Amino acid sequence: MTSHEDSRGAAVVRDTGTSTPLRGPHDVGGLPAGPISLDEHATTEWEYRCWAIATLLRDPMRGARIGRPGEALAGLDESRRHGEELGDRYVKLAYGERAVHALTRMLVRRGVLDEAEIAARLASIA
Amino acid sequence: MTATLHETIAPRFGVGDRVTVRLAWPPGHIRTPVYCRGHTGIIERLCGSFPNPEELAFGRPGLPEQPLYRVRFRSLDLWPDYAEGHDDVVEIEIYQHWLQPASSVEQGQHHQDVRA
Amino acid sequence: MNLPVADEAVKDSGYYRRLQAAVEELLILKGIVGREEIDREVAIMEARSYRRGAAVVARAWVDPAYRARLLADGAGAVRELGIEIGALHLIVVENTAQLHNVIVCTLCSCYPRALLGMPPDWYKNIEYRSRVVREPRAVLAEFGLALADDVAVRVHDSTADMRYLVLPQRPEGTQGWSEEQLLEIVSRDALVGVAVPVAVPAAPPSPASPAPGLAA
């Protein structure tokens, strides 16, 4: 990887296809990869419920329930960003696992939930 | 700037225009895949205007809306060693702020193959 | 305090299933979402199936005017059939004798869920997303689809706000088939472009198991 700066000072590099901080772990188009597994799992209940919650929270009316009128409490691109920020851990998680991770990070970052209360709740769930 | 839901940027390109994708690696949430950056293709259609996902990713409104195009690239232009069909193409949705008119300077300035 | 992430041990203990439950319970306790709202949303998602897309294709095969409307305005033509797809922006791409279309989202897993339901695992996995733009014919061969050399491949990378549906070619040997018969030979994979329909007559439908997923 070589790099220099363009006229506006933004980093410009010649990408070499290896994993770098400048190619997100999700941006895999064109990279070598192994055979495609055609095994499929049926979407689980918790995967459906995670997606359902994210869908409901994207409604801009939702924030009014916690005194934040006109504010959506989730966003699709925001959720993707939190998944991408997993870095090297991105590929270790299944799609549904990344979705739960991203939803949780997003709610913590937005101040809707805090990590301590999530951890406490988690301890009560078998 | 006062943003409204209808605030958009005027489309700069028309169907058939040759465009080059910016060769840049900004941080953040980017919807322009690395494999097409620096490459030249042709506008296939204008899809409409949409909030900028790079802003939405950080909880901002993403306004003004950016025109979104579908850009058609010859697979052989994306990967000079592409070994399948000569007429194969890839079409990618790209927002206007990632596109420049393909000029004589920019043509032929493709960055090296991502597998190189 | 940091919640654990991506550790094999926590994965194996059902960590993400439990994390989902914890987040859901807290959101309900705070009055942000209701359990019934989530149940309702899940029911809507479970009712969506690729068979709705197959019904769209079958209609396009028997009705040339509908086919033209579908190619010009995908979402509008889908709604004509009473299929609820919300704000979906749909582009329908048509296979011909000279052109084969295949859909991918290399960046995540954008998929027309509102029309077809949840995407299959292979669509979401790294291997398909990495390779189908770079070597589509090799990938299609792994799905058992061999394309003739004189057929061009058009890969659609669904990177932004549009979603895609492939309109396959109506196979030879289906002259005189009803729309219902045609629907039965359109697979999910054909709607993504990793398969093509073939004229295998379907078994007569059982009255006990009506076609799922057609209701909105």
Q: What is the DSSP string of chain C?
A: -----S-HHHHHTTHHHHHHHHHHHHHHHTTSS-HHHHHHHHHHHHH--HHHHHHHHHHHHH-HHHHHHHHH-HHHHHHHTT---TT--EEEEE--SSEEEEEE-SSS----HHHH-SPPHHHHSHHHHHHTTT-HHHHHHHTT-PPPTTSEEEEEE--SS-EEEEEPPPPTT-TT--HHHHHHT--HHHHHTSS-----PPPPPPTTSPPTT---
List pLDDT tens digits, range A37-73.
999 999 999 999 999 999 999 999 999 999 999 999 9
Answer positive or negative: Cα dihedral of C77, C78, C81, C84. negative
Contact between C182 and C173 under an 8 Å Cβ cutoff? The reply is no
**Residue A4: its pLDDT value, please?**
37
List pLDDT tens digits, range B97-107.
999 999 854 44
Say yes or no: C113 and C182 in one domain: yes
In 3D space, the residue among B94, B81, B88 whose CA is nearest the CA of residue B36 turns out to be B94
- Decide if C23 is inside a domain: yes
List pLDDT tens digits, range B71-98.
999 999 999 999 999 999 999 999 999 9
Contact between C27 and C37 under an 8 Å Cβ cutoff? The reply is no
- Decide if C197 is inside a domain: no
Q: Which fold has domain B18-101?
A: SH3 type barrels. (2.30.30)
- Neighbors of chain A by Cβ distance (3+ pairs < 8 Å): B, C
Contact between A54 and A79 under an 8 Å Cβ cutoff? The reply is yes
Q: Which residues of A18-53 are buried (b: 16+ CB within 10 A; e: fewer)?
A: eeeebbbbbbbbbbebeebeeeeeebeebbbbbbbb
ipTM of this predicted structure: 0.89
Structure tokens at C61: 């095969």
Residue A20 is classified by DSSP as: B
Say yes or no: C39 and C71 in one domain: no
- Tokens 């979401």 belong to C124
Question: Annotated catalytic, C158?
Answer: no
Query: In this complex, is the C-beta atom of B87 within 8 Å of any C-beta atom belonging to chain C?
Result: yes
CA distances from C31 to A111, C27, C28 (A): 15, 6, 5
Distance CA A45, CA C150 (A): 45
Say yes or no: C21 and C120 in one domain: no
C30 Cα to chain A: minimum distance (Å) = 8
- Decide if C158 is inside a domain: yes
Distance CA A119, CA A49 (A): 19
Say yes or no: C42 and C141 in one domain: no
A2 Cα to chain C: minimum distance (Å) = 23
pLDDT by residue for chain C (216 residues), tens only, comes to 467 665 555 666 799 999 999 999 999 999 999 999 999 999 999 999 999 999 999 999 999 999 999 999 999 999 999 999 999 999 999 999 999 999 999 999 999 999 999 999 999 999 999 999 999 999 999 999 999 999 999 999 999 999 999 999 999 999 999 999 999 999 999 999 999 999 986 555 555 544 544 544
How many CB atoms sit inside 10 A of residue C4's CB?
A: 12
In 3D space, the residue among C174, C177, C181, C176 whose CA is nearest the CA of residue C203 turns out to be C181
**Residue A9: its pLDDT value, please?**
33
**Residue C216: its pLDDT value, please?**
41
Question: Annotated catalytic, C105?
Answer: yes
**Residue B103: its pLDDT value, please?**
80
Nearest neighbour of A56 by CB, restricted to C16, C38, C130: C38
Say yes or no: C76 and C53 in one domain: yes
Distance CA A79, CA C214 (A): 30
Say yes or no: C85 and C147 in one domain: yes
Q: Which residue of A has its CA nearest to B51?
A: A77
CB contact under 8 Å between B89 and C155, yes or no, is yes
Query: In this complex, is the C-beta atom of B80 within 8 Å of any C-beta atom belonging to chain A?
Result: no
B34-48 average pLDDT score: 97
Say yes or no: C100 and C23 in one domain: no
Say yes or no: C98 and C178 in one domain: yes
Chain C hits for B84, CB-CB cut-off 8 Å, are: 135-138, 153
How many CB atoms sit inside 10 A of residue C205's CB?
A: 12
List pLDDT tens digits, range B10-20.
999 999 999 99
Distance CA C202, CA C178 (A): 12
Domain that holds residue C37: 13-46
Say yes or no: C149 and C185 in one domain: yes
Structure tokens at A64: 């009014």
- Decide if C26 is inside a domain: yes
- Decide if C210 is inside a domain: no
Say yes or no: C37 and C68 in one domain: no
**Residue A22: its pLDDT value, please?**
79
Say yes or no: C33 and C62 in one domain: no
Catalytic one of C105, C130, C178, C206: C105
Is the backbone peptide bond immediately before A69 cis, with ω within 30 degrees of 0? no
How many domains, chain C?
A: 2
